[in-house]
């Protein structure tokens, strides 16, 4: 007897779950998580424990940064280029119906106007801030050009290469008018500005196109980066370049008298959350780091082997990390570091890690455990960290002392709920 439509449909629905446990590249079974041991953030390579903040700063933190650079993300080959310059291209002090000030800037990384460049957009509360209280600011990379963060028709439309997407109205690798505001719900500009913060954004594709070719174009050309498979083992990849761009945006914000560059939170979702964490780990000027569903190579522990694995991410995206990271494909146990130490690199600066219940690919539990296992380093600085041993229940945010974590209902996304938590934590740690 033929299967009813409903029975066939439910079988199809079950198929991914049936294969999940055995398919190389990801694991959705908590029971299949192998026993693992995490490297101690407070043990120097030579075997001496770190017991004070000064030793952490001068010895252990540099050691860990070196390992993350050499083995995972690749080395950042330089800082701010000497010829980098920028110009404000538009200002509207009555944007969004008078609810915000909108500024657009172009940043050229060399003396050449036709060389590598990025566009920065800033929305800030209306009016001029009092001279002594410039705006604290949220800064992040976006996926579809600055035009995607709000439906504001006055945002300049990106002309850069972009992943073609019918859903986001990107046709033939270019943004169309239909791309305006497609990620407005992820950016929540009005809500952020209403809470007394500025929000700034750059398009990740201005820095490095999210495809293998990206490593030989734009910012990569400034440093002679090799192609995907021809790089030296410790050369950077796209995540390194995106993180570098966040630091260059901070250079520019630092020169804006209306922005308080000592109170800039760097945030990112998913692959851009990985970039935000790596930017925050390297660049101590970031005052708060926010990881939204950053998953593998971001906040999630690699050694748990839950959700996306090292091999899977290096295979799907061979241009995101260094080629040396491929050494750990299916060999997570041999990694000399794990992602809790990436969070620890940010200490004592605050970090907020967020997960979504319907996002097993990013391993919500592994994201929580990274924050949890970074606590000993916060403790060196007299901070409690999360202050909870167990992963909080869904929609029960923990805004702790130096560390925050929440998991919400719903899927891989940034929602108004996430922003409410980030703003609440921001009020706690940035609005002093």
Nearest of 176, 127, 108, 182 to residue 151 by alpha carbon: 182
Catalytic, out of 69, 247, 270, 294? 270
Establish whether 406 is a catalytic residue: no
Binds ligand GTR by CB under 6 A, chosen from 267, 271, 304, 372: 271
Half-sphere exposure of 386 (CA within 13 A, CB side): 26
Report the nearest approach of ligand GTR to the CB of residue 203 (Å): 15
Going along 96-232, which residue ranges are E strands?
100-108, 117-124, 135-142, 170-171, 174-175, 198-203
In this complex, which beta carbon is closest to ligand GTR, that of residue 95 or of residue 313?
Answer: 313
The helix (H) or strand (E) run that includes residue 117 is: strand 117-124
Bridge partners of 36, per DSSP, are none
Per-residue x/- track, 302-321, ligand GTR (CB under 6 A): ------x----x--x-----
| Encoded tokens for 388 | 């909870």
Establish whether 227 is a catalytic residue: no
In this complex, which beta carbon is closest to ligand GTR, that of residue 143 or of residue 378?
Answer: 143
In this complex, which beta carbon is closest to ligand GTR, that of residue 50 or of residue 141?
Answer: 141
Query: Which residues fall within 8 angstroms of residue 380, CB to CB, at 6 or more apart?
Result: 42, 50, 51, 52, 53, 56, 347, 348
Q: Give backbone dihedrals phi and psi of 77, rounded to 5 degrees, phi first.
A: -80, -10
In this complex, which beta carbon is closest to ligand GTR, that of residue 146 or of residue 309?
Answer: 309
Report the nearest approach of ligand GTR to the CB of residue 143 (Å): 8
Classify residue 208 by its DSSP letter. Answer: S
Site for ligand GTR contains 295 (CB under 6 A): yes
Report the nearest approach of ligand GTR to the CB of residue 256 (Å): 29
Report the nearest approach of ligand GTR to the CB of residue 201 (Å): 16
Site for ligand GTR contains 270 (CB under 6 A): yes
Tally Cβ neighbours within 10 Å of residue 69. Answer: 20
In order, the DSSP letters of 160-184 are S----BTTTTEETTEE-GGGTTTTH
Catalytic, out of 85, 156, 165, 412? 412
Report the nearest approach of ligand GTR to the CB of residue 295 (Å): 5
Q: Which residues are catalytic?
A: 270, 412
Residues that bind ligand GTR (CB under 6 A): 270-271, 295-296, 308, 313, 316
């Amino acid at each position: 007897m033929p299967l009813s439509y409903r029975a066939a449909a439910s079988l199809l629905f079950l198929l991914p779950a049936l294969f999940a446990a055995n398919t190389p590249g990801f694991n959705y079974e908590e029971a299949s998580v192998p026993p693992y041991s995490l490297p101690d953030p407070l043990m120097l390579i030579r075997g001496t424990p770190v017991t004070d903040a000064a030793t952490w700063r001068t010895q252990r933190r540099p050691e860990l940064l070196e390992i993350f650079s050499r083995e995972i993300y690749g080395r950042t080959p330089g800082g701010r280029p000497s010829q980098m310059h920028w110009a404000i291209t538009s200002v509207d002090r009555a944007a969004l119906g008078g609810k915000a000030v909108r500024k657009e800037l172009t940043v050229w990384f060399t003396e050449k106007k036709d060389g590598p460049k990025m566009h920065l957009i800033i929305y800030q509360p209306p009016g001029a801030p009092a001279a002594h209280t410039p705006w604290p600011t949220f800064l992040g990379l976006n996926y579809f050009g600055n035009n995607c963060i709000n439906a504001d028709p006055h945002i300049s439309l990106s002309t850069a290469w972009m992943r073609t997407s019918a859903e986001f109205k990107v046709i033939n690798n270019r943004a169309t008018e239909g791309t305006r505001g497609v990620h407005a719900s992820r950016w929540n500009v009005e809500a952020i500005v209403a809470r007394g913060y500025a929000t700034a954004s750059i398009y990740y594709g201005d820095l490095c196109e999210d495809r293998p070719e990206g490593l030989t174009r734009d910012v990569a050309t400034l440093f002679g980066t090799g192609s995907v498979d021809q790089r030296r083992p410790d050369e950077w990849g796209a995540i390194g370049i995106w993180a570098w761009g966040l630091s260059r945006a901070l250079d520019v914000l630092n020169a804006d008298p209306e922005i308080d560059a000592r109170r800039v939170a760097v945030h990112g979702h998913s692959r851009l959350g990985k970039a935000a964490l790596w930017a925050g780990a390297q660049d101590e000027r970031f005052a708060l780091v926010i990881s939204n569903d950053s998953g593998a190579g971001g906040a999630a522990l690699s050694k748990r082997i839950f959700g996306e694995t090292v091999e899977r991410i290096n295979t799907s995206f061979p241009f995101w990390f260094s080629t040396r990271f491929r050494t750990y494909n299916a060999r997570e146990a041999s990694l000399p570091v794990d992602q809790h130490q990436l969070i620890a690199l940010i200490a004592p600066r605050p970090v907020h890690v967020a997960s979504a219940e319907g996002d097993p690919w990013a391993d919500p539990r592994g994201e929580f455990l990274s924050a949890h296992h970074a606590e000993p380093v916060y403790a060196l600085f007299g901070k409690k960290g999360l202050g909870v041993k167990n992963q909080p229940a869904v929609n029960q945010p923990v805004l702790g002392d130096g560390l925050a974590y929440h998991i919400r209902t719903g899927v891989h996304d940034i929602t108004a709920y996430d922003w409410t938590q980030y703003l609440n934590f921001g009020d706690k740690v940035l609005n002093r």
